[in-house]
Amino acid sequence: MGYVTVLESIDPEDWDRPGDKEIVRRVKDQLDNGTNILLHDGGGDREQTVKALPKIIDYIQSRGDRIVPLNELLGETMDQIMPPIPGSRFGFQRLASSLGFQTLYILQQLFWAFIMLAMALVALRTAIVIVLSFGHRRRARHAPAAGGFAPSISVLVPAYNEGKVIAATLRSVLSTTYPSTVEVILVDDGSSDDTYEAAKKVALEDARVRVFSQVNHGKAAALQRALHEASNEIVVFIDADTRIAHDAFGRLVQPLADAKIGAVSGHARVGNRRSFLARCQDLEYICGFNLDRRAYSVWNCITVAPGAISAFRKEAIKAAGGFSRDTLAEDTDLTLSVHRAGFRVDYVPGAVAWTEAPETVRTLASQRFRWAFGTLQSVWKHRSLTFSRRAPGLGWFSLPSVWFFQLGLVAVAPMVDALFLYAVLVDRQLAVLPYFLAFIGSDLALALAACWMEHEPLRTAWRIIPMRFIYRPMLSYVVWKAILRALRGAVVEWGKLDRTASVVEVPR
């Protein structure tokens, strides 16, 4: 015995015309065939159902048929079919049930609206980043060759408990092929290991290295001290675990020939790609950091010139107010301040530095929590730049991207993945598959474009798929942790990663 919708093809205007007989005829045909009549009552416009019901009842009764309630048809009492709620609780239970279903429905609709909005924005941002990145690549072909502009530079290295790696880092700097004077200033920020002694040993071997020590005050304070000691107008920042490509400095300073440019970001890569976790981070550096910087430089909206490798004009740092200890992401804070001071920030993909990535989940989570918390502090501190017409690229593209894609969407991404897995379990995967594929497709498109520009094997891009299920839940966790810490107003100290001295300089 099937179910038939009698009213689905009837024009509502027929209710006020002799066409009512057509309705009765259809009902008669269905009843004569022994078929149930299903009047849809699942929400929406019930106008046709309400108009049809009296006519259907009249026809059924005219046949001599009797209409009975469900409990009589089943031979049960009404209390057995619908157990009564105690009188004292009836009002509350009904209200709670009604509000619960309404709330659940509203939340469901809001969630799907967010998913659709996120899908559209992710696709739009992906297209913009890829187009701008290819534009930057074409522009970079006509950039001045390394060595065309070669002022004396000061390389500033803040260090805290870097005894395992500091000597190799300093020797990497000293072995570069930069044609002009290079001075290296290292500030040991109260290390408890042999960082100072290892650095002094290198300084005795090469007079270009000067080493200073201070009581532990944090990375920003160490950078400010190093900046104070620097004798050149152009300063280069590198981290204490970084290996520098031989021609990196020559390429890095070229944009600073333009007095309007206050800072230049180099190209950081992971130098210890010996585990799946490290290789995931390398792909993240290629896609999430370097590809973005290619695109952002076209619209002058780079949000961070990284501490791993970047060059600044002293004048720009002074105009920006110097290094602040307000945030944990002192490089992001300074870069946004340089924008605020009216300088441009550029990016040079050929200025390569190899940095040590965390090799355990614990150390990676610690690093990313510090980054997430520092980024949250920085964008909040400079929130007046968001949607500002003073720096349109920054205000309308890169800063909103930080808020939505790096913080908000990363926080909810595992929920989208969990929704898809749940849909598979209940055999409803087709309902969410388009949204899931849109997110995966956008990630894969960015990864393919980034790998192609980096001359990496395109098969590397497929690593982005397992990253979503294995790597990104951890990023979501640290983002939520940073948000909750920020809401509580908690103070977070600068975290120090355990070094393994595993960076291998890769020729480029």
Q: How confident is the model at residue 16 (pLDDT cuts 50, 70, 90)?
A: very low
Q: What is the sign of the dihedral through the CA atoms of 479, 480, 483 and 488?
A: negative
Mean pLDDT value of segment 490-505: 60
CATH number attached to the domain at 148-488: 3.90.550.10
- The pLDDT assigned to 4 comes to 39
Question: How far is 229 from 154, CA to CA, in rounded Å?
Answer: 9
Give yes or no for residue 110 having a pLDDT over 90.
no
More confident residue, 249 or 60: 249
Alpha-carbon 162 to chain mean position: 30
- Mean pLDDT for all residues in the chain: 82
% of the chain residues with pLDDT over 90: 41
Give yes or no for residue 87 having a pLDDT over 60.
no
Question: How far is 294 from 269, CA to CA, in rounded Å?
Answer: 15
Mean pLDDT value of segment 253-277: 92
Give yes or no for residue 274 having a pLDDT over 70.
yes
Distance set, CA 217 to CA 15, 121, 159, 489 (Å): 82, 41, 11, 21
Q: Identify the residue whose tokens are 């990864």.
A: 447
Question: How far is 252 from 259, CA to CA, in rounded Å?
Answer: 15
Q: At what angle do helices 410-425 and 472-488 cross, to 10 degrees?
A: 130
- pTM value is 0.77
Burial class of residue 163, CB neighbours in 10 A (0-12, 13-18, 19+): buried
More confident residue, 209 or 441: 209
Phi-psi map region of 463: left, alpha, beta (phi>0 left; psi -120 to 50 alpha) = alpha
Residues facing 159 on adjacent strands = 188
Q: Identify the residue whose tokens are 């004396």.
A: 152
Q: What are phi and psi of 48, to 5 degrees?
A: -65, -40
- The pLDDT assigned to 196 comes to 94
Residue 442 neighbours by CB distance under 10 Å: 21
Listing DSSP states for 324-382 in one string gives -SS-S-HHHHHHHHHHHTT-EEEEEEEEEEEEPPP-SHHHHHHHHHHHHHHHHHHHHHT
Mean pLDDT value of segment 59-79: 77
Question: How far is 40 from 8, CA to CA, in rounded Å?
Answer: 9
Give yes or no for residue 500 having a pLDDT over 80.
no
Question: How far is 167 from 153, CA to CA, in rounded Å?
Answer: 20
Give yes or no for residue 323 having a pLDDT over 60.
yes
Q: What are phi and psi of 422, to 5 degrees?
A: -65, -40
Q: How confident is the model at residue 498 (pLDDT cuts 50, 70, 90)?
A: low
pLDDT in tens, 357-385: 888 888 888 888 888 889 999 999 999 99
- Residue 279's nearest CA partner among 407, 451, 498, 126 is 451
Give yes or no for residue 41 having a pLDDT over 80.
no
More confident residue, 237 or 13: 237
pLDDT in tens, 458-488: 988 988 888 877 777 888 888 888 888 888 7
Mean pLDDT value of segment 179-207: 94
Q: How confident is the model at residue 255 (pLDDT cuts 50, 70, 90)?
A: very high
- The pLDDT assigned to 188 comes to 95
Give yes or no for residue 94 having a pLDDT over 60.
no
Q: What are phi and psi of 188, to 5 degrees?
A: -85, 115
Q: Are 399 and 302 in contact (CB under 8 A)?
A: no
Listing DSSP states for 416-477 in one string gives HHHHHHHHHHTT-HHHHHHHHHHHHHHHHHHHHHHHHHTT--GGGGGGHHHHHHHTHHHHHH
- The pLDDT assigned to 98 comes to 59
For residue 4, the surrounding DSSP H or E stretch is: strand 3-4
Burial 20-54 (b: 16+ CB within 10 A, else e): eeebeebbeebbeeeeebeeeeeeeeeebeebbee
Give yes or no for residue 244 having a pLDDT over 80.
yes
Give yes or no for residue 259 having a pLDDT over 90.
yes
Q: How confident is the model at residue 494 (pLDDT cuts 50, 70, 90)?
A: low
Burial class of residue 101, CB neighbours in 10 A (0-12, 13-18, 19+): exposed
Q: Are 254 and 266 in contact (CB under 8 A)?
A: no
Q: Identify the residue whose tokens are 């300093």.
A: 170
Which region among 11-20, 201-210, 499-508 has the lowest average model confidence (pLDDT)? 11-20
- The pLDDT assigned to 266 comes to 94
Q: What are phi and psi of 46, to 5 degrees?
A: -105, 15
Which region among 57-71, 306-320, 445-459, 464-478 has the lowest average model confidence (pLDDT)? 57-71
Listing DSSP states for 272-331 in one string gives ---SHHHHHHHHHIIIIIIIHHHHHHHTT------TTEEEEEHHHHHHTTS--SS-S-HH
Domain residue ranges in the chain: 3-67, 148-488
Q: Tokens for 128, please give them.
A: 């913009």
Report the SS3 class of residue 158: strand
More confident residue, 180 or 507: 180
Query: Hey, which of 92-96, 140-144, 202-206 has the most confident mean pLDDT?
Result: 202-206
- Residue 242's nearest CA partner among 501, 508, 507 is 501
- The pLDDT assigned to 95 comes to 54
Q: Are 359 and 279 in contact (CB under 8 A)?
A: no
Please, what is the Cα angle at 367 between 363 and 371, to 5 degrees?
165
pLDDT in tens, 219-233: 999 999 999 999 999
Q: What is the sign of the dihedral through the CA atoms of 84, 87, 88 and 90?
A: positive
Mean pLDDT value of segment 284-303: 91
Q: Tokens for 310, please give them.
A: 């970047």
- Residue 398's nearest CA partner among 417, 430, 375 is 375
Question: How far is 475 from 485, CA to CA, in rounded Å?
Answer: 15
Give yes or no for residue 26 having a pLDDT over 70.
no
Which residues 6+ apart lie within 8 Å of 10 measured at CB? 19, 22, 23, 48
% of the chain residues with pLDDT over 70: 80
pLDDT in tens, 384-407: 999 998 889 999 999 999 999 888
SS3 letters across 214-259? ECCCCHHHHHHHHHHHCCCCEEEEECCCCEECCCHHHHHCHHHHCC
Q: How confident is the model at residue 243 (pLDDT cuts 50, 70, 90)?
A: very high
Q: How confident is the model at residue 43 (pLDDT cuts 50, 70, 90)?
A: low
